[in-house]
Structure 1
Amino acid sequence: MVHIRFEGRSVDVTETQLGINAGMNDVAVKEQVARHLDVNRDRLETYIIDRRPSGDLIIRPEAVYG
């Protein structure tokens, strides 16, 4: 499962829906997510890909504290 947080929205999709697999690097994953969201890839430039031990991915904006 891939959980995407983008501009106030949360979306859950499968890896198959995004066309990604476990061996893909962050750049390739962001490209597929951008296609899914129908946005330019550069809008995800500062986003973090959190790879969970379960195999799930969380794609989210970088957290800024303070």
Structure 2
Amino acid sequence: MVHIRFEGRSYDLTESQLGITTNMNESAIKERLAQHFDVGRDRLQYYVIDKRPSGDLIIRPEAVYG
């Protein structure tokens, strides 16, 4: 499962819906997300990808504190 927080909305998609495989690096994952949302790759520049022990991915904006 891939949980995505993008521009204030949450999405739960499967890896197969996005074309993501387990051996993809973060850059390739962000490229697939950009294609899915039909936006430029740069829109995901400040997003982080948390890989959970369960194998799920959480993709969210980078947290800024202070």
TM-score (norm 2): 0.97
SS in 2 for 1:50: strand
Distance 1:4 1:34 in 2: 12
Q: Which runs of 5+ in 1 are unaligned?
A: none
Give me the identity figure in percent: 73
Greater than 2 Å deviation, 4+ residue runs: none
Question: In the alignment, which residue of structure 2 is the partner of 1:36?
Answer: 36
Amino acid at match of 1:38: D
Question: In the alignment, which residue of structure 2 is the partner of 1:62?
Answer: 62
Amino acid at match of 1:9: R
> How many aligned residue pairs are there?
66
Distance 1:40 1:20 in 2: 18
TM-score (norm 1): 0.97
Question: In the alignment, which residue of structure 2 is the partner of 1:45?
Answer: 45
User: What value does the CA root-mean-square deviation take over the aligned residues?
Assistant: 0.5
